[in-house]
Amino acid sequence: MYLVLFFIFGGLCVAGALNLLLQRHPINSALSLIVVMSSLAVLYLLLGAEFLAAAQVIVYSGAIMVLFTFVIMLLNAGKEERTHGSKAAYIVGIPGVAVLVCLLSFVFLSQRGHLSNARLGDYLVTTSDLSTVLFRDLLLPFEVTSVLILVAILGAVALARREN
Angle at 96 between CA 93 and CA 100, to 5 degrees: 135
Can you give the pTM of this predicted structure?
Answer: 0.57
Tell me the backbone φ, ψ of residue 65, rounded to 5 degrees. Answer: -70, -30
Residue 17 has pLDDT above 80, yes or no: yes
- Long-range contacts of the stretch 58-61 (C-beta < 8 A, 24+): 61/34, 61/37
pLDDT value at position 63? 82
Cβ contact 65:30 at 8 Å: yes
| Residue 116 confidence class, pLDDT cut points 50, 70, 90 | low
